[in-house]
Amino acid sequence: MSSIDLLFQRLRTAGKKAFMPFITAGDPDLDFTEAVIGELAGRGCDLFELGIPYSDPIADGPVIQASYNRALEKKIKLADILERIGKITGGTGCQPVLPAPPIVTMASYAVVYRHGLEKYVADAQAAGAAGAIVPDLPVEEAAPLAAICRKADFSLIQLITPTTPRDRAKRIAEQTTGFIYYVSITGITGERESLPPQILDDVAWLRQQTPLPVCIGFGISRPEHVRMLAPVADGLIVGSAIVRRMAEAAVKPRRQVLDEIGRFVASLRAALE
């Protein structure tokens, strides 16, 4: 079993849900990326989604796109990110800087393909990453990467959206390992005032189709969102609201920004409990 499988098994036994922050790698730099992971691990976050900057992200809104652009302007490379994951987790043989929860990379298929499918999985796993989310990989083309990931016990997390036909959703679930990423809204990432109530029925149906945990992301930024979704989700993913606060490290003292992010996440984590 992968570390993600073990995590959700442990959480289910304890009757708890997973809280998963999304963080852009390298914005404003990898030292701050590491510091945020350390801060939020200490605040009880269960796993981390680490965004690999890419010039043409498929579903990210303006906040995450801007963070990717800032990281790319500083010439952040995949090798640098994997090296830093290894430092955080101890995956490259060094002493880990903290007992970090599992880390999964969020990477465009162009990044994975250019690196090489087997090499990407091998290098990410060697660095200590537990899986990958590849948002622009259609189920019709996912079999080669899914087979590599299954052989390596490296989770391949795939997305299902409100507009995904149900027969297609079942096919996506069959190709997925670790957990299913359910997109809560039709559109791009970003903070929302409210979330559509139809999510509850859609996720309840999906959980009847697969034994995989179902985690919900996109738009979640308030305790009331968390309380709404917690009854049907195995975990919740929060991205833009955290990335927006991380951007303030360019103009505010970093310790102050870390404290602000930590308090914000703690308020959501408390709502999840």
Query: What are the counts of helices (DSSP H) followed by strands (DSSP E) for the chain?
Result: 12, 9
pLDDT of 101 above 60? yes
237 lies in a domain? yes
**3-state class (DSSP) for residue 12:** helix
42 lies in a domain? yes
143 lies in a domain? yes
Higher pLDDT, 82 or 99: 82
104 lies in a domain? yes
48 lies in a domain? yes
Q: From CA 103, how far away is CA 98, in angstroms rounded?
A: 13
Cβ atoms of residues 43 and 262 within 8 Å: yes
Alpha-carbon torsion, ordered 126, 265, 56, 26, to 10 deg: -50
Asked if the bond preceding 28 is cis, omega within 30° of 0, the reply is: yes
24 lies in a domain? yes
Distances (CA, A) of 104 to 62, 129, 133, 162, 204: 22, 6, 7, 23, 25
Distances (CA, A) of 161 to 38, 54, 198, 199, 239: 31, 22, 12, 10, 17
192 lies in a domain? no
pLDDT of 95 above 60? no
Tens of pLDDT, residue by residue over 144-190, are 999 999 999 999 999 999 999 999 999 999 999 999 999 986 554 54
Tens of pLDDT, residue by residue over 226-261, are 999 999 999 999 988 999 999 998 889 999 999 999
Q: What is the domain range of residue 135? A: 18-156+224-266
**3-state class (DSSP) for residue 143:** helix
- If one counts the domains in the chain, the total is 1
170 lies in a domain? no
Report the catalytic residues. Answer: 49, 60
Cβ atoms of residues 65 and 15 within 8 Å: no
Whichever domain contains 139, its CATH number is 3.20.20.70
